[in-house]
Amino acid sequence: MKYLSEYRDSKAVKDFATAMEKITTKKWKIMEVCGGQTHSIVKYGIDELIPKEIELIHGPGCPVCVTPVEIIDQAIEIAKLSDVIFTSFGDMLRVPGSDTDLLRVKAVGGDIRIVYSPLDALKIARENKDKEVVFFAVGFETTAPANAMAVYEASKTNVNNFSLLVSHVLVPPAIEAILSSAKNTVQGFLAAGHVCTIMGYEEYIPLAAKYKVPIVVTGFEPLDIMQGIYMCIKQLEENRHEVENQYIRSVKQEGNLSAKQIISEIFQIIPRKWRGIGEINQSGFSLSEKYKNFDAEKKFNIKIKDKEESSECISGLILQGLQKPTDCPAFRKKCTPENPLGATMVSSEGACAAYYRYKIAHKTTA
Ligand code: SF4
């Protein structure tokens, strides 16, 4: 298949490992920001293929994992209401709130429906005028254009029984939060190719210059990731700190201008709390004042108090790259994908789930 099989070519992957061996002279720590990249790294054993001097640190780029427990609780309370049809992508249903999850609410009669697009949720709203239809809008910049389009369409066609429960987070402020932390040990970043496909990478240029870190926009297949790591190591070894684009088949510096335009029409940038990390300034989207009638948070006005995470779960430290899943005492014991204690075990993009599935059970090599 074009654009897939050639990026899983084991010989080309091994050639990059050999090239990396030749240029690596010291220890380096590189963070892959995106959970999809973490998944590929662990699935294909990339962390064991690269020179032992290079440590890959798993970043906070799993939107399911960083959605705050208070928003999950809010979703649960809205989904319990008898006049509501609550719609969501499937992966949010098993994320633990403080007492239960959406799947359990569905099991006892909540009208919760899995959809594949916010436009499917809008269609449900058009077909059920006597109900309020809410879509759980979770994700990074990648999913924001479709969510924005659904609100734009709802507004244009007066579908007033439709709303979004928004928990969008943004990558560049999270990278800056990691870099500005006194505990930071990350020396280079692989930025998420799909996020940059939408937003471009202009925002990363001042970050690379200010913190003197190379940032390489990278795809998700084994060859993409090997090349991204190679480009990052090459910069570090040459004492360069630039933004480079490995994912040129998808990403332009300016991003997708139409997608950015609909995002800026519908959303505004606000501070957001990240599960396990805390509030990061200017790190999320909410609906702008003009579209506030489509904001489920305002429409239902359900107040949830701040909640404590399970004291056993160290997912906050894992999401900041300070610990690995295998450092958690509950990993594979009290916490499994069937009975997750924390969000990084629920999502297939979560580091704990990736380690559980590929690191211990079996390995697939590229
Ligand atoms: S293994 Fe479970 S309890 Fe431990 S950090 Fe991961 S999600 Fe949290």
Q: How far is CA 191 from the centre of its chain?
A: 12
Residue minimizing CA distance to atom 7 of ligand 1: 342
- The one-letter code for the residue type at 250 is S
* pLDDT score of 356: 94
Provide, rounded to the nearest whole percent, the portion of the chain with pLDDT above 70: 97
Lowest-confidence region among 148-157, 160-169, 274-283? 274-283
Strand partners, 169: 284
Question: 346 near 313, Cβ under 8 Å?
Answer: no
Mean pLDDT value across residues 47-70: 92
CA distances from 279 to 40, 174, 309 (A): 28, 10, 15
If you measure from the C-alpha of residue 339 to the centroid of ligand 1, how many angstroms do you get, rounded to a whole number?
Answer: 10
Mean pLDDT value across residues 315-329: 90
Q: Which residues contact 195 (CB under 8 A, 6 or more apart)?
A: 34, 61, 140, 141, 142, 171
For the chain, give the mean pLDDT. Answer: 93
Residue 361 and residue 337: Cα distance in Å, rounded? 13
If you measure from the C-alpha of residue 311 to the centroid of ligand 1, how many angstroms do you get, rounded to a whole number?
Answer: 10
Q: Is residue 361 pLDDT above 60, yes or no?
A: no
Band of pLDDT at residue 5, cut at 50, 70 and 90: confident
Q: Is residue 125 pLDDT above 80, yes or no?
A: yes
Identify which of 60, 52, 59, 91 has the alpha carbon closest to the alpha carbon of residue 75. Answer: 91
Pocket test for ligand 1, best of 64, 101, 312, 345 (most atoms within 8 A of CB): 345
Residue minimizing CA distance to atom 6 of ligand 1: 352
Quote the crossing angle between the two packed helices 144-156 and 257-266, to the nearest 10°.
Answer: 60
Question: 19 near 335, Cβ under 8 Å?
Answer: no
Mean pLDDT value across residues 148-167: 98
Pocket test for ligand 1, best of 101, 308, 318, 322 (most atoms within 8 A of CB): 318
Pocket, ligand 1, Cβ cutoff 6 A: 312-315, 318, 325, 328, 330-331, 335, 340-342, 344-345, 352
* pLDDT score of 1: 47
Residue minimizing CA distance to atom 8 of ligand 1: 313
Lowest-confidence region among 135-144, 171-180, 226-235, 302-311? 302-311
Mean pLDDT value across residues 86-102: 91
Question: 229 near 50, Cβ under 8 Å?
Answer: yes
